Structure 1
Amino acid sequence: MADKDSVEKYLENNPQFAKEFFDKKVRQEVITAAFSENFEVKDVASFSEVSKIQEANVIFDLVKDMHTETVMEKAMHKVIQRTCLMVNADRCSYFIYRARNGIGELATCLFDITPTSKFESNLVNPAAEIVFPTDVGIVGQITTSKKPANIPDVKKNPRFSEFVDKQTGYTTKNMLIAPIMHGKDVLGIITALNKIGSSEFSKADEEVFQKYMTFATVIAVQHYTSYMWNVELRRSQVLLWSASKVFEELTDIERQFHKALYTVRTYLNCNRYSVGLLDMTKEKTWSHTKAPRLVFYKIIDYILEDKEEIKVIPTPPVDHWALVSGLPTYVAENAFKEQVDDTGFVIQNVLSLPIVNKKEEIVGIATFFNRKDGKPFDEQDEQIMEALTQFLGWSHLNCDTYDRLNRMEWKKDIAQEMLMYQTRATSEEVQEVLNTIEKFDMKPEDSKDIDLLEFHFSDLPVTPLDLIKGGIRCFFELNVVEKFKVPAEVLTRWMYTVRKGYRDITYHNWRHGFNVGQTMFTLLQTGKLRKYYSDLEAFAMVAAAFCHDIDHRGTNNLYQTKSGSPLARLHGSSILERHHLQYSKTLMEDEALNIFQNLQKRQFETVQHLHDVCIIATDLALYFKKRTMFQKIVDATETMPNEQDQIAHVSNNPVRKEIIMAMMMTGCDLSAITKPWEVQSKVALMVAEEFWEQGDLERTVLDQQPIPMMDRNKKDELPKMQCGFINFVCSFVYKEFSRFHKEITPMFNGLNNNLAHWKELADIYDAKMKAIEDEKKKLEEAEAKKGGEGGKSKTCTIV
């Protein structure tokens, strides 16, 4: 009697006989059973051997089966189930790839498929999905590499993550894994886990696996194409109808919003959505640690489940469920299991988008709840909803047009005035400085030659041209010219143009601008404050300091407002400071003047932001608001044991850095008050003269009485007013800086020395005024005694 071994040997030596025997006795029964709905496998190994012989016929049957199934998940389930059988895997799974908020992730779609498992048990409910980012695990790695892999031992793979195993209690030993691709895009990942009867999948298994991935790819791409066609259809309808309705009503924002939102309701893949309308008349409450608090005056709520209903909620409370801060994140992390209102509605997933107008201001919030199929909103949903909210934002176009035209007119007036008064530095002027480098092969004068590194520096004996060269030298001393590839000609032209940008007025002229830039440079270098800032930040701070009062008109913000100047109409607050800032940014727009031209985009944006911080900080009204915050920083660093802790405390917190930066600008702007007395006394007279000139304008042009500080008739009171200015405004900033860094103490000492001089002069003035008053009283008393009871009246004259 023949045994098993002899039969196997005979069949191997007679393959034609084996094929004919199989076709006759086995093939029809096995293939039919393999692709029936009620398929049971008794001997997987034997089926695998059969599949190798009759693979062409199996594939043919599989293709027929694929085209008769219309639901993607069912068709994919059948393919993966046969794949699992063919490679003799313990189980297989299918992960879909999707993106939300621009971040890719993988989620279980068909999970733990075996040759005998039912579709219903393998299909993952959206609420029970296992979701993980693409930078986690081997599956995430395949999403990035987009190449199949055979992992014989997952424990030896450094990318393996036990995240899914811990969720399911299953132990993964080895795996076959392949991405489902559509062009260069990943649609999903299929995994086969734990080879049965072996410690790893073979090369033959890999070949079989890849062949069946072709069928899975066809199914996935077919579904993806159909889905994207539906998405584009919905997008086009949303765009068409929202555009139509937005421009039907151009007078009432609320009606515009409602028309557009109600018309497109059938194309929005959600069960409910609402729009919160922002009250633009209420001021936003800002803090340094929290986002601004938005005030909504109305919520329009659209309910699409069962019977359609629209609810309008006027003046909603701040804690209304539709306006909860961070609602999408809260729902994603914690779920919102309780009912939100009397309809019994429960939030499962959320998509929230701002409605932004042309000014980049948020005018409302559109929130969409619960996608109709129960799955989370994906990237395509985001794009459709974003298109809708963009059209809603454009609804503000009509009401903004008039204001925008006015602003353009005011900007034109200012630009014309600037162009008439200012011109860019000429080639001859640039060569005056460039010859120092090109002709004589030397850099501008060393900073030590004109005391650039000293707090007692005085510009009075220095010529305007030498000041320009000194300003250029500051940038060389900071070592930013070579590091940020600043062309010598551009730097020279910029510095010369900044000098010409200052008007020839009594005090706020180029010399004042240079003094502020030099003081900023000295605070960074001599004052040792540079350790808190990067080279780029130091570069921007010194440049902003030089530009801080460019094109100053010799009058303050209050005068601009009273006179109704174009500047006052253009800028609501910090009028002159915003003009100086805009002027400095205008220089950046000209490549021939842009000293930041070789910076990267992110670096250039940082420079512009620092210009905002520095130049706006010279408004003394803002200085008083930040004094307490600066004092807290100084108090905190004073108690720290070492320098490293102090640097970390400041450098790691952008808010603290900007507060110190703002205080530095104030200290630089007022630095004339700390100079040696022979310098300070002269500069104080320049400042007073400019104030008196403004007072004269207020009398003649505005027909108003100026305040004492601006009144030329009260010039004898200058020492007294200087003492008040020092005590009320200046003393704080220099006292705190001397506490913060002892290297800055010379400025505080200079301030106190000048205060003593002004106090001495004020006392002399007071004594003089007292003597005059006493003499006047004596004369009055003598006159009264002389005249007796019939003396002259103090209030009347008898003619």
Structure 2
Amino acid sequence: MCFVPCRLKVSHVISRYQSSGGSINHSNREQQMSKKRKSPDDQGFEESPPAGSSDQGLTDEKVKAYLSLHPQMLDDFVLESVSAETLDRWLKRKTSSRPADDTSAKEVSRYQDTNMQGVVYELNSYMEQRLDTGGDNKLLLYELCNIIKTATKADGFALYFLGECNNSLCLFTPTGAKDGPPSLIPSGPITFGTTIAAHVAKTRKTLLVEDIMGDERFPDGTGQDSGIHVHSVLCLPILTAIGDLIAILELHRHWGKEPFNLSHQEVATANLAWASVAIHQVQVCRGLAKQTELNDFLLDVSKTYFDNIVAIDSLLEHIMIYAKNLVNADRCALFQVDHNNKELYSDLFDIGEEKEGKPVFRKTKEIRFSIDKGIAGQVARTGEVLNIPDAYADPRFNREVDLKTGYTTRNILCMPIVSRGTVIGVVQMVNKLSGSAFTKTDENNFKMFAVFCALALHCANMYHRIRHSECIYRVTMEKLSYHSICTSEEWKTLTQLNLPAPIYKEIETFHFDINPFEEIWPAVFIYMVHNSCGKTSFELEKLCRFTMSVRKNYRRVPYHNWKHAVTVAHCMYAILQKTSEMFTELEKKGLLIACLCHDLDHRGYSNAYLQKFDHPLAALYSTSTMEQHHFSQTVSILQLEGHNIFSNLNSSEYEQVLEIIRKAIIATDLALYFNNHQQLSELLNSGVLDFNNHSHRDRVIGLMMTACDLCSVTKQWPITRLTANDIYAEFWAEGDEMKKIGMQPIPMMDRDKKDEVPQGQVGFYNAVAIPCYTTLSELFPPSSPLLKACKENLGQWEKIARGELEDVVPSRPCDSGPVKVDN
């Protein structure tokens, strides 16, 4: 550093100079210093020693010579002995002769000298102040670069920062009256063969180029088109202390000016290195402060959210070990409070032994005692801390615990554990090891520790509830499994059933009515699977088990029941029989199984109802709630022992068929039908429908599932009218539930508006059913009987709506007893 000579009361300077072989003439030093008496304006100096001093051998020249040879010693002296205020005055004196004009000139005028060492202190103070007060690092760096520009006598500069993905550069534009707030303008990628800034960002090495336009490495030069011809460029990377790239500084000199030299490079490099270290240091401090805040936050969160504990006893052991060490106690006990029975209880005890230097806690038979007894009971009742120096002298002490454990208690420190304003436990420290009793300091430390105990007990209670719920869940699942899995008698009987002869012909038609054959619906499904996929497609035993268990898992609701499942499966069978060459074996299997399972465990309520009333299923599945549940139930049955009908498939085929089933079941959500039908119609009308396109194929299968799900509208009129009655029975039941809580259901679900049923059916046919079967018949012409029957039933509803036909609900067929089967 270049400073005016300071007063020399530095004995260590003289001694070090003497040790280096120099002679000290104190009288000469005195004479020289006497010539430089302190002036009134020179507040940085004291008067020189009076004549007659013994300092004859030391002169100003010798001191200067010595300090020139040993500059580090001057640095050490200044840092150790000179105040910041003195340094500030020196800097002001050194720069006071230079004129100041505008604001920016005032900031940089004192840095005109390329020797920047003399301004480090002031610049450092300025930067630290800006950083400590949360100054913008980008703007601060820009100001520093402006100073370096002046110090290196550059004509201009550009400052680049990294883009969002750290693979590009952005030009920084500072704030200004015309330009608005600071901004980053994209400048280009970080790569070779473009600009000098991109090159330096890529290599992270300083470049000094005398003629930028003549350097073939940078065909784009500086990349700026400002109308000024740049000649020489000094480009430097600004790196953090750990080597991360912060920014790029690009200094310019114009044509006709002397190019930059190594001296300029050294000045810029030194100051950028210092600036990056200063910024990094302050950022680290900020990071530590934020980390402290984060730790406090995590601690606060952990008080209310600590539910990932499995080995709760291990947690309690760690808590009690820490508590013992905290107050230097011999034993530790933790009691939980049973408010229902007004008792304290514990089953984990400190037995006074150690293993590998750690106390041993033993889980024993639970000990319980009344909350009205003992020190712990007093603390549990009042919530106050008790410090008992002599336990047996205190009438509140309950000797029963000592009698049961065989341990003698001398003194006690007892602390309540409070959660949500309620005492949930008591921690009791027993027998101070060093000293006669627990101190006030122990008390204060223990209060802090009580927070962790509250956390541990909260976790213990939560874990106990979870374990209890798990036990209930297992028992429930066991009962459910028993009642939802078919018996061996049921599936074995199914393997022996054959269909009556008249069925074989009728089952191939779309209008086939399954109502008269309820007892053999499982056999009807087995026949359809064998006739469509082959008798060897599934193991008969597993297929029978699966079918009978599926039947058991359909609830007895008016419409979405086992009969509906078999009806939908039959419609799919009829379509596949007429289009079998268009589908793979896996698709045939998957679609038949999907139809049979598409309404498994249906509760008779719509998705909208479940979501509106926050049903647990709606929490599990936010969209297509029941459809996702149906698929989940399907997979659950497949996973039962002896029920996996796809066990003969390899893993790839197994995944494929499950995905076919999943997509098919989800497609029965009528809310998804409208978009699917629109997209499919557009593909069909534009002539671009491609069955080999997986997306197109999925849409076709989705439409098939909707057509099968709605197939009751394609049956003969008496069957269609009866089925409509079943559908509205479910709708009205849902509407009744809404009315119970004061909500008005939509007209379709309001039994008080049953007169509007015919008109509602006309609207449904025109909006949903007719378009669905029209598109299906265009895709598969053999399915046109479905469209024809749908139109006929629409005509019936229209007549009823116009009053031309009386709405008579046919009576259900009488039960004629068991169907005779062919052996």
Question: For the superposition of Structure 1 and Structure 2, which TM-score range results when normalised by the shorter chain?
Answer: 0.3 to 0.5
TM-score by length of 1: 0.43
Please identify which structure carries the higher helix content.
1
TM-score by length of 2: 0.42
Q: Which has the higher contact order (CA 8 A, sep 6+)?
A: 1
Larger Rg: 2
